[in-house]
Amino acid sequence: MTEKTLPLLQVSPKAPEPLGPPARSLRVALVNMPWARVDAPSIQCGLLASIVRNAGHHCTVHYLNVELAAVVGPKTYNGIADAGGERLHQFGEWLFSYAAFGELRPDSEYHAEFPDVEEIWRDVTGEGIDTISTLRRETLPRWLAEWADAVDWSGYDIIGFSSTFLQNTASLALGRILKDKFPEVALLYGGANFDGEMGAEYLRKLPWIDHVVTGEGDHALPALLHRLAAGEPLTGVPGVWTRGATGPATESTRTQDLDTLPVPDYTEYFAAIERHGAQAVVGDEPVKLLVEFARGCWWGQKHHCTFCGLNALGMGFRPKTGERAMHELEQMLRAHPVTHVEAVDNILDMKHLSTLCASLAEKHWDVSTFYEVKANLTREQLAVLAAAGINRIQPGIESLSTHVLNLMRKGSTKLINVRLLKWARYHDIKPEWNILSGFPGETDADYAEQAALVPLLYHLRPPDCGGILWLERFSPYFTDETFGITNVRPRACYRFVYPETLDHSKIAYYFDYEAPGIASQPARKSLYAAVGEWRRKWREEVPPSLTYRRLPTSLTITDRRLDTESTTTYTGWQADVYEACGDTARAAKRLHQDILDQGHNLTLDDVTAFLDDCCANGMMLTEDDKYLALAIPENRHW
């Protein structure tokens, strides 16, 4: 592998010595700025608040994202925070960039470059782009100035901004104002937007930043506070960059045993929601608890998906024990009794199926939980999730072409992905997924095959969206030149959001690029048109279905995938074979052996001819001599 920019620092090899009590207790503020989601507390701030307090300091979390949502209303706030295509236009970041950096380019140039933004705004507010300029140039700067006055920031020794996704310019803007008003208060920045060389570049160029934590803050933040409290030199704290001091020799120390972390404290978030009333902040959305039961990715540490920029340099998988996860969840739900929980983990720890999930199933709580999972989950494993209340998953399906999945090193296949969608529907689990395209080495045939497949899958939940892959910092496509991706440059939006004094190649997270050997636009468009029809069908009052009923000697499939209803009945050994391909894809040879074992006198050709006939009739899928039945049992209790 030819690496472009990574690793920036050596990973700190050993766990740090435990810190003793601080020389004095510092007063620490953590700030969660817009456009962080408002329907849940910040897990970063909640966890760091607990860590800082355990280290002997005072800590307060300010949820200014909640405050802004209460001012502009949840519809406008979420319309900006969740605006489609944010990786292209960075609308939310651009809105606060005027307050952070002043005039960079005329608003008209931004709108000419990103005409979709006007449409997004009109959908959300019903207003024209002149009101965007008012928000950007008047409302948001005034709101920041008011918050600079509303809190006694001078009462803090250090103010920390945790900046992830679209929180960066709001965090930088408030920091700039606070530094002007309270130059003696130290400003600290961290979070995913400050990982790797991004954090060092911000510190170098933006004079109001005093410290930057790159990587995990669990150890870096208390170590920094300890030195500040003692008045000791700040050079050499792993992962901490300090103005005027030599940069750190090592990455921040990662917590290896997550059970040693404290439980996140969400007190200030729920107080803010209570103060404003949930409806005024989140609208009709339920308030959710965020939990973290693992870091890193057990798949990615062995086969890093080529497009994945998650986890920066920390892909190593580190789960909490199931016992600890359960204890933590119960403690949080007792403190904040909500009915919706989201795990921020990149991937479900498979051990949690028999520990955490089993315990949850025994509890009989009416809690609806979201998890990111691997698409390889079986029917039985999905049943375990359903019993545990995990009824929303993000399985990382990404494609229905095995060739494309191989190109992205997903470790999945067309049949595995369809199996997941099928049993998720059976167990009433909502899979949230996308179809991506634009992988070097893919062909038009990959997309023609997927487009042809789509009508057979109308009874399964369609993808939420799709599009060409985006190039992320830290992903193998970004770091490994052997993939042939060239002309890598920061996306155009950065010119409108950040001043030229910042080196955009060092702060950008998303990049434009040229990729060799990708499918033609017409081929990709034909797939997305087919997906559009699939999604349309799921907006109908009753979504399409394909179910079967079993009797001792027959199996009858009712097909309501299209506008007309039809039935197909298989009898005798054919019913047995069809059902045997239900849980998972089976090879013809194995099925034939099963049939022989049952005393039938059939050849392999007889069985294969039947299986191929099922495929030709749209009742099964096949690949690599394996067959997967598409119909779902009508009986919900099997």
Question: H or E stretch including 465?
Answer: strand 465-468
User: Nearest distance from residue 309's CB to ligand SF4, in Å?
Assistant: 8
Closer CB to ligand SF4, 345 or 442, in the complex: 345
User: Nearest distance from residue 27's CB to ligand SF4, in Å?
Assistant: 37
Stretch that binds ligand SF4, among 28-36, 120-128, 266-274, 296-304 (CB under 6 A): 296-304
Q: Which residue is nearest to ligand SF4 (CB)?
A: 300
Q: What is the DSSP letter of 383?
A: H
Please report the DSSP string for 53-97 in residue order.
Answer: HHTT-EEEEEEHHHHHHHHH-HHHHHHHHT-TTHHHH-HHHHHHH
User: Nearest distance from residue 478's CB to ligand SF4, in Å?
Assistant: 13
Closer CB to ligand SF4, 305 or 518, in the complex: 305
User: Nearest distance from residue 369's CB to ligand SF4, in Å?
Assistant: 18
Which of 297, 418, 555, 557 lies at the binding interface for ligand SF4 (CB under 6 A)?
Answer: 297
Stretch that binds ligand SF4, among 111-119, 299-307, 567-575, 627-635 (CB under 6 A): 299-307
User: Nearest distance from residue 472's CB to ligand SF4, in Å?
Assistant: 10
Residue 329 phi/psi, 5° resolution?
Answer: -60, -45
Stretch 327-356 residues interacting with ligand SF4 (CB under 6 A):
346-347
Closer CB to ligand SF4, 307 or 610, in the complex: 307
What is the Cα–Cα distance from 180 to 183, expressed in whole angstroms? 6
What is the Cα–Cα distance from 482 to 471, expressed in whole angstroms? 15
Question: H or E stretch including 226?
Answer: helix 217-230
Q: Which amino acid is it at 120?
A: I
Closer CB to ligand SF4, 176 or 304, in the complex: 304
Polymer length of the chain? 638
What is the Cα–Cα distance from 617 to 600, expressed in whole angstroms? 24
Which of 305, 385, 418, 519 lies at the binding interface for ligand SF4 (CB under 6 A)?
Answer: 305
Which of 179, 295, 304, 473 lies at the binding interface for ligand SF4 (CB under 6 A)?
Answer: 304
Closer CB to ligand SF4, 377 or 497, in the complex: 377
Of 431, 483, 193, 402, nearest in space to 309 by CA: 193
User: Nearest distance from residue 226's CB to ligand SF4, in Å?
Assistant: 33
Q: What is the DSSP letter of 480?
A: B
Closer CB to ligand SF4, 49 or 305, in the complex: 305
Closer CB to ligand SF4, 187 or 192, in the complex: 192
Show the tokens assigned to 131: 């009101």
Closer CB to ligand SF4, 240 or 305, in the complex: 305
Stretch that binds ligand SF4, among 14-22, 187-195, 298-306, 530-538 (CB under 6 A): 298-306
Which of 396, 490, 544, 582 lies at the binding interface for ligand SF4 (CB under 6 A)?
Answer: 396
Stretch 64-123 residues interacting with ligand SF4 (CB under 6 A):
none
Stretch that binds ligand SF4, among 302-310, 382-390, 518-526, 549-557 (CB under 6 A): 302-310
Torsion angle of the four alpha carbons 489, 491, 492, 497, in this order, in degrees rounded to the nearest 10: -120
What is the Cα–Cα distance from 534 to 463, expressed in whole angstroms? 9
Measured between alpha carbons, how far is residue 594 from residues 49, 176, 611 in Å?
Answer: 59, 72, 14
Show the tokens assigned to 448: 């023609």
In the block, tokens 């003696």 appear at: 184
User: Nearest distance from residue 349's CB to ligand SF4, in Å?
Assistant: 12
Closer CB to ligand SF4, 305 or 424, in the complex: 305
Show the tokens assigned to 627: 């067959």
Closer CB to ligand SF4, 172 or 294, in the complex: 294
Count helices and strands (H / E) in the chain: 27, 25
Q: Does 314 bind ligand SF4 (CB under 6 A)?
A: no
Stretch 549-588 residues interacting with ligand SF4 (CB under 6 A):
none
User: Nearest distance from residue 408's CB to ligand SF4, in Å?
Assistant: 8
Q: How far, in whole angstroms, is CA 213 from its chain's centroid?
A: 22
Which of 308, 375, 393, 435 lies at the binding interface for ligand SF4 (CB under 6 A)?
Answer: 308
User: Nearest distance from residue 294's CB to ligand SF4, in Å?
Assistant: 11
What is the Cα–Cα distance from 29 to 162, expressed in whole angstroms? 11
∠ CA 410-413-416, rounded to 5°: 110
Closer CB to ligand SF4, 417 or 574, in the complex: 417
Closer CB to ligand SF4, 88 or 310, in the complex: 310
Which of 190, 264, 300, 476 lies at the binding interface for ligand SF4 (CB under 6 A)?
Answer: 300
What is the Cα–Cα distance from 606 to 597, expressed in whole angstroms? 15
CB 316 within 8 A of CB 300: no
| DSSP H helical ranges for 388-491 | 402-407, 414-426, 444-453, 476-479
571 pairs with which residues across the strands? 554
Stretch that binds ligand SF4, among 21-29, 201-209, 305-313, 327-335 (CB under 6 A): 305-313
User: Nearest distance from residue 308's CB to ligand SF4, in Å?
Assistant: 3
Radius of gyration of the chain (CA): 27
Question: Whole-angstrom distance between the N-terminal and C-terminal Cα of the chain?
Answer: 48
User: Nearest distance from residue 582's CB to ligand SF4, in Å?
Assistant: 26
User: Nearest distance from residue 310's CB to ligand SF4, in Å?
Assistant: 5
∠ CA 140-145-149, rounded to 5°: 145
User: Nearest distance from residue 55's CB to ligand SF4, in Å?
Assistant: 30
The contact mask relative to ligand SF4 for 252-291 (x = CB under 6 A, - = no) is: ----------------------------------------
Q: Does 469 bind ligand SF4 (CB under 6 A)?
A: no
Name 265's Cβ contacts closer than 8 Å, sequence gap at least 6: 46, 49, 50, 53, 61
3-state DSSP: the chain helix, strand, coil percent, rounded to 5? 45, 15, 40
User: Nearest distance from residue 394's CB to ligand SF4, in Å?
Assistant: 9
Q: Does 299 bind ligand SF4 (CB under 6 A)?
A: yes
Q: How many residues bind ligand SF4 (CB under 6 A)?
A: 10
Of 494, 540, 460, 397, nearest in space to 198 by CA: 494
Instruction: Give the residues lining the site for ligand SF4 (CB under 6 A).
Output: 297, 299-300, 304-305, 308, 310, 346-347, 396
